[in-house]
Structure 1
Amino acid sequence: MLKIIIKISLTLLLFSQAACTTISLKESHFIKPDKRIQLSDLKAINRSAKTQLITIASQDGIQLRGTLITIDNAKATILYFGGNQFRVNIAGGEPATALLPLQTNILMIDHRGYGLSDGKPTIDNLKQDALTVFDFAKQHSELVNAPIIVHGHSLGSMIASYVASQRSVAALVLEGSVTNVEQMTQSRIPWYAKPFIELNYSPELRKIDNLKVMEQYTAPLLIITGEKDTQTPSSLAKDLYAHSASKHKQLYIAQGKHHGDALDGAELKKHYEVLLAQLTPNSL
């Protein structure tokens, strides 16, 4: 359904602007190399960095796989849930190199049905898998002494907020996040197309509501969005921030960044360090 919305919107936009718009195409629009996790890159950031392949059995026996990056004297462990189409072996290098300078461990697991993980994804089993991954991290011998920060990007933000609603997380990071599916889709349809589009949402999609989670969540919170994000516009991030009950909340709008590159923002480290400083001994 969302793909159809995007196609309709794009078609209308092209027709309305075709006479006066020049579109510049670059090599980077067609050539997109993998951004794998390279141990040499990690060690250039922190010499103690180690990687290991992780396999976790889900509640229904599906094998979930990913990568754990550990360092000496880590301040916390970041449990990172990627967006739609995120695969650790293809795109894991980007969040890894962005987050490792924070002196944190990083655990990234492919969603079921993606990358190296088995199974077929649904909203319900993705949420249950996320709890299983969190519980695994909480009990892992190399991570047990580090507070766990749950960080979700795009689709992963829905999963991360669900974990925060079901478990005692040390902190929550929502990057390129939705408020709820209805607001997200409405924000992506141009005003002139809205009278011609009627949307029906399945019960599973209607359950996704990060605004309600924000109203109940009180631990440290960092909301990240790209200034030029057209998939999850910054207005959604501002709405999440406004609904948050946390007394330790931050909103970071990365200037000039889009939906997938906000972690490259110049002030990411500053905001994340504030988040790390807000962790308490009770976070363990």
Structure 2
Amino acid sequence: MQLVRRLCSLWLVVSLSACTWQVREDNIVIPRAAPSADLAALRAQLPAYRIEETRIAAADGAQLYSLRFLRSDAVATVLYFGGNGYTVAKHAATSAKAYAEAPVNFVLVDHRGYGASTGTASLEALLADATTVYDSLRKDRELGAMPLIVHGHSLGSFMAGQVAAARRLDGLILESSVTSFDDWGAYMRSRQKLWARILVRRVAPAGALAGKGNQQVVAALDEPVLFVAGENDTATPPRFAEALYQATPQPAERKRLLIVPARDHTNAADSPEFRRALAGFLAEQVRPRPAG
């Protein structure tokens, strides 16, 4: 929601000077530093988990701060990539609520330049880091032996999509995602008043944003996928999730679409509907990995 307000505030200035507004990378990737998580508080609040703090080395030497929430009855691990405002220290407890009823480990990571991670943030670097993080978990003796599901929300959904395009996953969850930045730009333009739409004829992604989105990713998916959106999401409305679902060439039993009533861009996963959908997704789609 913060991103939407920022973009809308920029609209007036841009609309007075140009017929095309170019959405730049710094409109989308907005890093914010934060301390590491309060482990004592989390452990007291979430006694069912063994919580471990670690750092994952990126290719350029950046250190990606990560928390692992481990439970003895886990049948799978979820790697979660949060949205633009996500930091592990601030949102770990909320993420835990989404997975509390599921027999899964879950792993949270601060994007580079965000939270307690080092490095300089850029979209290309975040996408590359996502695959690095996935590979590090897959090589982990404890976590890599069980199914590994990747869940991405908003900005993190592009990171999850990047991993799905590069690796064969055991399951994918795309929450509050979009087909492409071009489609999203057209949607943002459609929200403006008539006079602004007359002055700004087109919203176009520039630089690293050009051509990015999950439309092409889902067209080649070979893993089960769950699409999630909040009914009241005005940042990435449900029609994007519906379009991605339709573009996925998987049979109906390998893909699911969940539109959560009375939820918005930030809290669709914090709902009984998501927890039920996750339980079904695990039971029906996620299979144990072969031994060895």
| CA deviation profile, 1:160-218 (whole Å, cap 9, x unmatched) | 01100001110100111111111112223326232222323223101312011111002
Q: Distance in 1 between matches of 2:180 and 2:264?
A: 20
Instruction: Report SS of the residue matched to 2:218.
Output: helix
Percent identity between matched residues is: 32
- C-alpha change, 1:98 and 1:206, in structure 2 (3 Å) is same
- C-alpha change, 1:10 and 1:267, in structure 2 (3 Å) is farther
Q: Distance in 2 between matches of 1:156 and 1:208?
A: 13
- C-alpha change, 1:99 and 1:62, in structure 2 (3 Å) is same
Q: Distance in 2 between matches of 1:99 and 1:9?
A: 38
234, 237, 242: which is aligned to 1:233? 237
| CA deviation profile, 1:16-42 (whole Å, cap 9, x unmatched) | xxxxxxxxxxxxxxxxxxx97722332
Structure 2 equivalent of residue 6 of structure 1 = 8
Q: Distance in 1 between matches of 2:177 and 2:95?
A: 16
Structure 2 equivalent of residue 195 of structure 1 = 198
- C-alpha change, 1:204 and 1:172, in structure 2 (3 Å) is same
Structure 1 stretch displaced more, 187-196 or 171-180: 187-196
Instruction: Report SS of the residue matched to 1:83.
Output: coil
Report whether the alignment pairs 1:213 with 2:220. no
AA matched with 1:136: S
Structure 2 equivalent of residue 22 of structure 1 = none
The CA RMSD measured in Å over matched residues stands at 2.2
Contact kept, 8 Å, 2:77 with 2:105, in 1: the verdict is yes
Contact kept, 8 Å, 2:185 with 2:204, in 1: the verdict is no
Contact kept, 8 Å, 1:41 with 1:97, in 2: the verdict is no
Q: Distance in 1 between matches of 2:144 and 2:118?
A: 27
Instruction: Report SS of the residue matched to 1:199.
Output: strand
Contact kept, 8 Å, 1:226 with 1:258, in 2: the verdict is yes
The size of the alignment, in residue pairs, is 257
Q: CA deviation at 1:153?
A: 0.3
Structure 1 stretch displaced more, 186-195 or 268-277: 186-195
Structure 2 equivalent of residue 266 of structure 1 = 272
Structure 2 equivalent of residue 119 of structure 1 = 119
AA matched with 1:178: V
Q: Distance in 1 between matches of 2:5 and 2:260?
A: 26
Q: CA deviation at 1:220?
A: 0.8
Instruction: Report SS of the residue matched to 2:79.
Output: strand
Note the residue ranges of structure 1 that are not aligned, 5 or more in a row. 12-34
AA matched with 1:279: V
Return the TM-score normalized by structure 2.
Answer: 0.82
Structure 2 equivalent of residue 276 of structure 1 = 282
- C-alpha change, 1:195 and 1:10, in structure 2 (3 Å) is closer
Contact kept, 8 Å, 1:187 with 1:233, in 2: the verdict is no
Q: CA deviation at 1:100?
A: 2.9
1:1-284 alignment, distance < 5 Å: 5-7=7-9, 38-43=42-47, 47=48, 49-189=49-189, 190=191, 192=194, 193-197=196-200, 198-247=202-251, 248-277=254-283, 278-282=285-289
Q: CA deviation at 1:9?
A: 6.2
Contact kept, 8 Å, 1:70 with 1:106, in 2: the verdict is yes
Q: CA deviation at 1:74?
A: 0.7
Q: Distance in 1 between matches of 2:116 and 2:203?
A: 34
Contact kept, 8 Å, 2:226 with 2:258, in 1: the verdict is yes
Higher RCO (C-alpha 8 Å, min separation 6): 2
AA matched with 1:101: E
Q: Distance in 1 between matches of 2:46 and 2:177?
A: 27
AA matched with 2:64: L
